[in-house]
Amino acid sequence: MSSPSELLSEVQRLLHFGIAEIELPAYVVTWSDELFRIYGWEPGSVTPSRETLLQRVHPADVDRVDRELARATRIPTTQPIEFRIVLPGGQLRTLEVRSRLVCDAAGAPVRMIGTTHDITDHKETAARLVFADRMASVGTLAGGVAHEINNPLAFISAHLELIAPELGASPVEIAAMLSETRAGVDRIKNIVRGLQAFSSTDEDQRSPLDVQRVLELALVMTDNQIRHRARLVRAFAPMPDVVANPATLAQVFLNLLVNAAEAIPEEETQGHTITVSTRSDDAGWAIIEIRDTGRGIARDIQNQIFDPFFTTKPVGKGTGLGLSMCHGIVRSLGGEVGFTTSPGAGTVFRVALPPAIAAVRANERPPAPPPAIAKDVPKRLLIVEDEVVFANALRRLLQRDKHAITIVHEGKEALARAEAGERFDVIVCDLMMPAMSGMELHAKLSVVAPDQAARVIFLTGGAFSPMAKQFLDRMPNAWFEKPCDLDQLRAAIRRVSTS
Ligand X SMILES: Nc1ncnc2c1ncn2[C@@H]1O[C@H](COP(=O)(O)OP(=O)(O)OP(=O)(O)O)[C@@H](O)[C@H]1O
Q: For binding to Mg ion (CB under 5 A), which residues are involved? A: 259, 322
Nearer to ligand X, 233 or 443 (CB): 233
Q: Rounded to whole angstroms, how far apart are CA atoms 102 and 104?
A: 7
Q: Where are the alpha helices (DSSP H) in 46-119?
A: 50-56, 62-72
As a whole number of Å, the CA-based R_g of the chain is 32
| Choices 71-79, 291-299, 377-385, 407-415 (CB under 6 A): range interacting with ligand X | 291-299
Can you say how many angstroms the Cα of residue 493 is from the centroid of all Cα atoms in its chain?
A: 36
Nearer to ligand X, 296 or 355 (CB): 296
Q: Check binding of 328 to ligand X (CB under 6 A).
A: no
Q: What is the H or E stretch that residue 174 is in?
A: helix 172-199
Please select the residue that binds ligand X; options are 72, 239, 286, 305, rule is CB under 6 A: 305
- For 184, the 3-state DSSP assignment is helix
Where in 336-395 is the site for ligand X (CB under 6 A)? 347
Q: Rounded to whole angstroms, how far apart are CA atoms 229 and 257?
A: 12
Q: Minimum distance from CB of 323 to ligand X (Å)?
A: 3
The listed partner (Mg ion, ligand X, none) that binds 260, CB under 5 to 8 Å by sort, is ligand X
Q: Minimum distance from CB of 212 to ligand X (Å)?
A: 21
Q: Check binding of 274 to ligand X (CB under 6 A).
A: no
DSSP state of 15: H
- 74: amino acid identity, one letter: R
Please select the residue that binds ligand X; options are 201, 225, 319, 497, rule is CB under 6 A: 319
Q: How far is the first Cα of the chain from the last one, in angstroms, to the nearest whole number?
A: 88
Nearer to Mg ion, 152 or 296 (CB): 296
Q: Minimum distance from CB of 312 to Mg ion (Å)?
A: 10
Q: Check binding of 261 to ligand X (CB under 6 A).
A: no
Q: Check binding of 263 to ligand X (CB under 6 A).
A: yes
Nearer to ligand X, 60 or 407 (CB): 60
> Is the Cβ–Cβ distance between 140 and 198 less than 8 Å?
no
Q: Minimum distance from CB of 309 to Mg ion (Å)?
A: 12
Q: Check binding of 429 to ligand X (CB under 6 A).
A: no
Q: Check binding of 250 to ligand X (CB under 6 A).
A: no
Going by DSSP bridges, is the β-strand pair 426-430/380-384 parallel, antiparallel, or unpaired?
parallel
- 183: amino acid identity, one letter: A
How far is CA 431 from each of CA 192, 279, 443, 489, 493, rounded to the nearest angstrom?
A: 18, 38, 12, 15, 17
Q: Where are the alpha helices (DSSP H) in 321-474?
A: 322-332, 388-399, 411-419, 438-448, 450-453, 466-474
Q: Rounded to whole angstroms, how far apart are CA atoms 430 and 404?
A: 19
Nearer to Mg ion, 196 or 311 (CB): 311
How far is CA 495 from each of CA 96, 101, 126, 484, 489, rounded to the nearest angstrom?
A: 69, 84, 54, 17, 10
- 46: amino acid identity, one letter: V
> Is the Cβ–Cβ distance between 45 and 62 less than 8 Å?
no
Please select the residue that binds ligand X; options are 310, 464, 471, 480, rule is CB under 6 A: 310
Residue nearest to ligand X (CB): 322
Going by DSSP bridges, is the β-strand pair 456-460/426-430 parallel, antiparallel, or unpaired?
parallel
Q: Rounded to whole angstroms, how far apart are CA atoms 403 and 376?
A: 8
Of 490, 90, 122, nearest to 304 by C-alpha is 90
Nearer to ligand X, 305 or 468 (CB): 305
Q: Check binding of 311 to ligand X (CB under 6 A).
A: yes
Please select the residue that binds ligand X; options are 190, 312, 392, 446, rule is CB under 6 A: 312
Q: Check binding of 192 to ligand X (CB under 6 A).
A: no
Q: Check binding of 322 to ligand X (CB under 6 A).
A: yes
| Choices 74-82, 91-99, 153-161, 253-261 (CB under 6 A): range interacting with ligand X | 253-261
Q: Rounded to whole angstroms, how far apart are CA atoms 221 and 215?
A: 10
The listed partner (Mg ion, ligand X, none) that binds 461, CB under 5 to 8 Å by sort, is none
Q: Minimum distance from CB of 203 to ligand X (Å)?
A: 20
Q: Minimum distance from CB of 325 to Mg ion (Å)?
A: 9
The listed partner (Mg ion, ligand X, none) that binds 263, CB under 5 to 8 Å by sort, is ligand X
Nearer to Mg ion, 154 or 221 (CB): 221
Nearer to ligand X, 147 or 272 (CB): 272
How far is CA 328 from each of CA 256, 325, 491, rounded to the nearest angstrom?
A: 13, 5, 43
Please select the residue that binds ligand X; options are 259, 277, 437, 452, rule is CB under 6 A: 259
Q: Minimum distance from CB of 264 to ligand X (Å)?
A: 9
The listed partner (Mg ion, ligand X, none) that binds 321, CB under 5 to 8 Å by sort, is ligand X
Q: Minimum distance from CB of 81 to ligand X (Å)?
A: 22
Q: Check binding of 222 to ligand X (CB under 6 A).
A: no
Torsion angle, alpha carbons of 213, 163, 151, 186, to 10: 10
Interface positions with ligand X (CB under 6 A): 255, 259-260, 263, 292, 294-297, 305, 310-313, 318-324, 347
